Amino acid sequence: MAIRVRIPTPLRSLTAGAEEVAIDSATTVGAVIEQLEAKHPGVKDRLLDDKGVRKFINVYLGDEDIRFLEGLESAVKDGDEISIVPAIAGGAR
């Protein structure tokens, strides 16, 4: 089992086109993003600024926005699915 991260189309240029990236083990959403960065450098900077998740990006753990959980400290376990969703519908392939 692993944690699955769903990648939106505008970020797939950084993940060699992958729609989903598996993270072997991590205990928080923040740690997942760190491991994502280690696998695909550049991702973290697109997602986070110095205050946390960028305002126009939603990170979902399952079907809940992590802003309504514990943010980057939200606990994750094997089998969880994390989705990175632009807050808008604007047009990237």
Partner 1 sequence: MTRALTRAHRLERIVEAIGKTPLVRLGRLRELAGQTDVKVYAKLELANPGGSVKDRAARQMVLAAIAEGRLGRGVTLIDSTSGNTGVAYSMIGAALGLDIELVMPRNVTEPRKRVARAYGARITFSDPMEGSDGAIRHVRKLVEAAPDRYFYPDQYSNPNNPLAHYLGTGQEILDDLGSELTHFVAGLGTSGTVMGTSRRLHEVPFPVRCVAVEPRDALHGLEGLKHMASSLVPAIYDATVPDEILPVTTEDGWEMSDRLAREEGLHVGHSTGANVFAAVQIAQQCLARGERASIVTVACDRGDRYFAPMKWERSYVW
Report which of 72, 62, 48, 65 is spatially closest to residue 5, judged by C-alpha positions.
62
Footprint (CB under 8 A) of partner 1, residues 15-34: 19
Interactions with partner 1, residue window 44-73 (CB under 8 A): 46, 54-58, 60, 63, 65, 68
For residue 85, give both structure tokens: 């969703």
- Asked whether position 91 contacts partner 1 by CB under 8 A, the answer is yes
Structure tokens at 45: 């900077």
The alpha carbon of residue 50 and the mean position of all alpha carbons in its chain are separated, in whole angstroms, by 16
Tell me whether residue 10 or residue 39 sits nearer to partner 1 (CB atom): 10
Task: State the number of binding residues for partner 1 (CB under 8 A).
Answer: 28
Measured over the CA atoms of residue 74, residue 35, residue 17 and residue 81, the dihedral's sign is: negative
| Binding footprint of partner 1 on the chain (CB under 8 A) | 6-11, 13, 19, 46, 54-58, 60, 63, 65, 68, 83, 85-93
